[in-house]
Structure 1
C-alpha cells in the first residue's frame, strides 16, 4: 500500500532561477540612453498637459506633439529590447540537495591565507556549471551545456554577470527554504489561559 509521506516526497521540487546574459553589452548602454529619452519625453508630455488652453504650446498642437514624442521614445525602447532579447541567452540555475551543495564547496577550498569557507572566485561558477541548463530560444526546452560551451561562458562574462549568477545560486540553494512555513498552516487550537479557567 502506498504511503502518504512517500507520495508527498516523490513530489519534491527544488527551486530554479533564470539568469539572462546579453551577448552584446553595447545594447544595454543603448537602452539606457533610450530610457532617458523616454523620461524626458514623459516630463515634456506631463508639462504640456498642465498648460492652460491658451498657452502657445497648447494652442499650436504642443500637447499632441509631446504625446507623439513619448510614443516614439517608448517604441525605440521596445525595439532595442527586442534586439537585446535576440542577442541574449538564458541560463536556468537549479537548486540541489544540501549534500551536493556542500560537496561543491569542498571542491573549491578557501584560498591560502583567506578567512573564507570556500573560494568564491571558483565556487559559484562551479555550482552553476553543475546545475544550469540553457533555455532554448527556439522552443523553450532545457538543453545541456557542454564543458566547452561553459568554458566560453565563464571566460567572457563580466563581473556583474558573475554576481547575478552567484546571487541565483544562493537564492535557489540558501535563501529558498530558509523561511519557516509552519505559519502557513491552519492555526492550532488556542490554549485557555489559566486565569480564564472556571472555578
Structure 2
C-alpha cells in the first residue's frame, strides 16, 4: 500500500517537471554582453564625441555551423555632449533601449561576421540656450560587427552601430559576450 501511495503521489510532479523542462528555453542559448564605445553625434554643434557603455542580453534561436540568428535586448548610452558653438550654449544627452535581430555568418573556426537590425526606444534631451527639446521616440538602428570566439563561450567583438534618431548617433566599440 505504501508503495502504491508513493507511486501515485510522484507521477504527477514528475510529469509536470518533465513538461516544464521540455518547454523551457535552454540556458545554453542565452548570452550577455557589455562593451565600451566611442559615440559621435551629428545633431549637436561642434560634432563632439564621447566614450560610452552598452549592455545586452540575447537568445540564440538558430545555431548551426553555417548560419546563426538571435534576438537581443540592450541598453546603449548614446552620450552626453555640451559646449558652445555659433554663440549658442548647448547640452545634449541620450540613451536607447533596443530590441534587435542579429544574423551571424561564421567565416572560419573562430571568426563570425554579423549584422544587427532593430528598433531603439530613444530617450534624449537637447538644451540650447536654456530651451529644452525632447528627442524621445522609437527609431530604427542597425550595424555590422565581427566577433572572435575564445573558449567556445566567450566572444570578443567589435561593431559599428547607427541610430536613426534626432541627433543621428553613431557608435563604434569593442566588448565581451558570454554564452551560457
**TM-score by structure 1 length?**
0.25
More strand by share: 2
**TM-score by structure 2 length?**
0.26
